[in-house]
Amino acid sequence: MIILLLGCSGFIGSHLLTRLLKKDNYRIFGWDLESKKIDHFLPSKNFYFTQADVLAKDSFESLKKQITDVDMVINLAAICNPAMYNTRPLDVIKSNFLDVHQIVDLCATHGKWLIHASTSEIYGRTLSSYYNDNYADKSLYILKEDQTPLVMGPIRNQRWSYACAKQLLERYIYAHHYENSLDFTIIRPLNFFGPEMDYIPGIEGDGTPRVLACFLGALLNNEPMYLVDGGRARRTITSIHDAIDAIEKIIERPGVSKNKIYNIGNVNNEVSMKELAEKMRSIFAKLYDNADYLNHPIEEMDSKIFYGEGYEDCDRRMPDISLAMNDLDWSPKILINDILEETIRYYLKKHNKL
């Protein structure tokens, strides 16, 4: 099987590559802007890497040639950092819709199956949050791929620039399916966590990554962990390994997985951000063998200060994953404490603290 993998050095891409290259039946043409997370794979006989922006004129021409040889295209390239949604909305819209729609066109022209990583963020806020019913009615917050309305806030709340661009791309893919018989599979990830997610702020880069890296950075740099708007938002955390199991099964079962949209998440791992911060500091204290971290400072911060104007939060993301479970014979297995323990241990080792 020959795969064109766009974004092969990102968080999901590097884990997927690790899995697929263990098997002999995959040949991967990988593209990314850099190769930091996958340098060790560059000599592999089944891996052909191009370091370039696929949409630059020359690159796009060679992509067009390469695509004729592959069985499928997996697109994992995206800007998915909430701190940018309200501060760099043009880049976010451009990279998540205007740029990528050309890849979708290419797949349609050449009749290639497109497996595309979208986002659970396209559900927006739950209906429960507008009704203020304290999540009494499950039908107002459980997220079902083909039934739940996609609810986004007003235009001035630029947080939704990302969700809106990703939603439009899903609609674009589906329109190509409808009008041009494009085969597609859309994945909606629910907070995949694991080693090499984002970067540790203050150590591996600057700025504000997603919550796992923010909290880890706070622990490693001895700074407070900040709970945005009280840390009430709830997320279901999914191990990257469970997520890769699901993606591998999607690849291996085209008979059922083509032309479907899948939530990939773990409903057993729901936490508020406050609970997440508390869990992370206690696991950090245990692994680092330093009880002081049990009292590591956790402080609340207004989202306007943390992210700036125009930030609005998804209140809760509880997916219905029955479609993925039934079609793919898959179920997520790794519980939140184990996910956090693996990830924290990885970073403690990486930064010579263990």
Residues within the interface to ligand UGA (CB under 6 A): 80, 82, 119-121, 162, 189-192, 210-211, 214, 226-228, 231, 233, 235, 273, 313-314
CB-nearer residue toward ligand UGA: 86 or 257 = 86
- Residue 54 CB, nearest approach to ligand UGA (Å): 20
Question: Any residues with CB less than 8 A from the CB of 98 and at least 6 apart, and which?
Answer: none
Residue 320 carries which side chain, given as an amino acid letter? D
Q: What sign does the dihedral 217-223-227-228 (CA atoms) show? A: negative
Instruction: Read off the tokens for 334.
Output: 């790794």
270-272 and 234-236: which strand pairing? antiparallel
E strand or H helix at 238, and its extent? strand 238-239
Rg (CA), the chain: 20
Q: Is 162 a catalytic residue?
A: yes
- Residue 166 CB, nearest approach to ligand UGA (Å): 7
Q: Which residue out of 26, 162, 262, 311 is catalytically annotated?
A: 162
- Residue 189 CB, nearest approach to ligand UGA (Å): 5
- Residue 228 CB, nearest approach to ligand UGA (Å): 3
Which residue's structure tokens are 């040949």? 27
Q: Which of 38, 53, 72 is nearest to 196 (CA)?
A: 38
- Residue 303 CB, nearest approach to ligand UGA (Å): 6
CB-nearer residue toward ligand UGA: 31 or 162 = 162
CB-nearer residue toward ligand UGA: 64 or 304 = 304
Q: How far apart are the first and last CA of the chain?
A: 40
CB-nearer residue toward ligand UGA: 41 or 307 = 307
Burial of 117 (0-12, 13-18, 19+ CB in 10 A): buried
Are the CB atoms for 133 and 143 separated by under 8 Å? no
Distance in angstroms (rounded) separating the CA atoms of residues 184 and 294: 47
Are the CB atoms for 148 and 124 separated by under 8 Å? no
CB-nearer residue toward ligand UGA: 112 or 158 = 158
Show which residues are catalytic.
Answer: 162
